[in-house]
Amino acid sequence: MELGLRNKCVLITGASRGIGMATAQCMADEGCRLRLVARDPQTLATTVDRIGRETGAEVVGNTPQEFANIMRADLRIWTQVIKGVGAEVDVLVNNAGDMAHGSLDQIDAQAWRTAWDLKVYATIDLTRLLYARMKQRGRGVIINVIGISGGEMIVPGYIAGTAGNAALDAFTRALGTAAPADGLRVVGVHPGLVATDRQINRWRQWAQEQLGDAQRWSELTAHLPFGRMAHAREIGQAIVFLASEAASYISGTSLTVDGGFSQRHQAR
How does pLDDT run across 222-250, given as a tens digit for each residue?
A: 999 999 999 999 999 999 999 999 999 99
Confidence of residue 122 (pLDDT cuts 50, 70, 90): confident
Give kind and range of the element (H or E) at residue 113: helix 109-116
Confidence of residue 74 (pLDDT cuts 50, 70, 90): low
Q: Provide the b/e sequence for 101-130 (b: ≥16 CB within 10 Å).
A: ebeeeebeeeebebbbbbbbbbbbbbbebb
- Sequence spans of domains, the chain: 9-194+232-259, 196-229
Q: For position 62, what pLDDT does the model report?
A: 33
Q: For position 44, what pLDDT does the model report?
A: 86
What number does CATH give the domain 9-194+232-259?
Answer: 3.40.50.720
How does pLDDT run across 9-32, given as a tens digit for each residue?
A: 999 988 989 999 999 999 999 999
Beta-bridge partners for 36 = 12
Measured between alpha carbons, how far is 192 from 34 in angstroms, rounded to an integer? Answer: 25
Beta-bridge partners for 34 = 10, 59
Q: What is the pTM of this model?
A: 0.89
